[in-house]
């Protein structure tokens, strides 16, 4: 256990506590929320350190009393037996955590191989994440969506936000960061007349939503184009140039948004997605510099590069990264994802405790 790291984090906790007690900080809600999130992350550490310190003091007192009265010997032994558990708990909390765990997210879902069936599956994934968010009391907002002819989605961006400050700093990202990658479905498509099972895929990209302080964007680096929105089949749904396409020239990242009726609103929504993508790029570059072992999320929607399979005939969901299988696909698609997400989080925790790199979010 690093005493220097513990001391530094406890000092940071005390400083954050003082800042939050100052009414002036609440004049800037963005700053107040950011400080509140970091404070919430450190609360469990502060509590665990206090419990360990108190237990050690109680042990010293019990042993001192036991020297005069043997009746206190049993109490001293019980306290001594509790110390390893408290020390392990604190050691786990001292392991560097994902700096984005308290953040909200933007989930992008793109239909891939499989044509209309893939778009329908992408729509299923959208509903699955929306219902999961509802179960946790989170707020969802469709930023942009391109629907398919049969009611699926070709491409959708969904913002998911926690209400208030997440307890323990465990925000939306801490749960959904594992979802990035290719999701494969095996079922009989509605367009299949012979009853044959088909395999198709949809790609999911999960991005921590960036705040203005996380990413600095030079307006001169942006190329902004406007065009008319269109719906399924290409028919015009807007007679004005309200849709917006933003290109970040240095990175080549292109973001478009056409859901809103106002060009200004579409521009603001597109900038939200752009900031999140630039934050992800910056994080990937930092990770690559620190460790070649860490990999980015899969960005190609190829059936062979899957992280999870949804098999409808067997009512089975399988996560290939950790060998997790459950036969409750119907419940999972209804938003009951905690089983697989808990298994992924536990695998990551075990890897970090063993001193390995965190579970790859492929």
Q: What is the pLDDT of residues 225-254, one digit of tens each?
A: 988 776 544 444 555 678 899 999 999 999
* Helix ranges, 72-146 (H): 73-94, 116-135
Residue with tokens 């469709």: 142
d(C-alpha 310, C-alpha 299), whole Å: 19
Hey, what are 358's tokens? Answer: 């965190």
- CA distances in angstroms from 192 to 112, 171, 200, 216, listed in the order given: 18, 41, 13, 49
Hey, what are 255's tokens? Answer: 């973001």
Helix (H) or strand (E) holding 141: strand 139-147
Helix (H/G/I), strand (E/B), else coil: 83? helix
The parts of the chain modelled with pLDDT lower than 50 are 1, 232-236, 290-304, 357, 360-362
Q: Could you tell me the strand order of the sheet in which 222-227 lies?
A: 222-227, 243-248, 253-257
Query: Which pLDDT belongs to residue 356?
Result: 52
Q: How distant is the alpha carbon of residue 31 from its chain centre?
A: 21
Q: Yes or no: say if 139 and 208 are a contact pair by the CB < 8 Å rule.
A: no
Query: Which pLDDT belongs to residue 361?
Result: 44
Phi, psi of 178 (to 5 degrees): -80, -10
Query: Which pLDDT belongs to residue 292?
Result: 41
Task: Tell me the helices (H) and strands (E) count for the chain, helix number first.
Answer: 8, 11
Q: Yes or no: say if 153 and 146 are a contact pair by the CB < 8 Å rule.
A: yes
């Amino acid at each position: 256990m690093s005493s220097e790291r513990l001391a530094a984090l406890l000092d940071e906790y005390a400083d954050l506590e003082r800042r939050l007690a100052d009414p002036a900080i609440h004049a800037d809600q963005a700053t107040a929320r950011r400080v509140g999130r970091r404070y919430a992350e450190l609360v469990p550490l502060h509590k665990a350190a206090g419990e360990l310190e108190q237990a050690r003091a109680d042990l010293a007192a019990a042993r001192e009393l036991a020297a005069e009265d043997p009746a206190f010997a049993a109490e001293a032994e019980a306290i001594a037996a509790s110390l390893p558990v408290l020390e392990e708990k604190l050691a786990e909390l001292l392991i560097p955590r994902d700096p984005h765990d308290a953040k909200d997210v933007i989930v992008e879902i793109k239909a891939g191989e499989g044509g209309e069936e893939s778009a329908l599956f992408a729509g299923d994934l959208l509903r699955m994440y929306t219902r999961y968010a509802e179960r946790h009391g989170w707020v969802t907002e469709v930023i942009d969506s391109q629907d398919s002819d049969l009611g699926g989605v070709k491409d959708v961006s969904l913002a998911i936000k926690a209400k208030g400050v997440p307890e323990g700093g465990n925000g939306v990202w801490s749960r959904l960061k594992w979802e990035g990658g290719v999701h494969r479905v095996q079922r009989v498509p509605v367009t299949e007349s012979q009853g044959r099972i088909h395999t198709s895929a949809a790609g999911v990209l999960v991005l921590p939503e960036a705040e203005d302080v996380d990413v600095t964007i030079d307006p001169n680096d942006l190329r902004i184009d406007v065009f008319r929105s269109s719906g399924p089949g290409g028919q015009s749904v807007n007679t004005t140039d309200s849709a917006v396409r933003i290109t970040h020239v240095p990175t080549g990242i292109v973001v478009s948004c056409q859901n809103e009726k106002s060009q200004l609103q579409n521009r603001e929504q597109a900038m939200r997605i752009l900031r999140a993508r630039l934050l992800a790029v910056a994080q990937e570059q930092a990770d690559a510099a620190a460790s070649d072992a860490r990999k980015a999320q899969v960005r190609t929607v190829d059936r062979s590069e899957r992280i999870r399979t949804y098999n409808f005939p067997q009512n089975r969901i399988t996560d290939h990264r950790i060998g997790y299988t459950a036969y409750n696909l119907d419940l999972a698609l209804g938003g009951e994802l905690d089983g697989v997400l808990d298994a992924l989080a536990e695998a990551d925790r075990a890897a970090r405790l063993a001193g390995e790199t965190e579970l790859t979010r492929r």
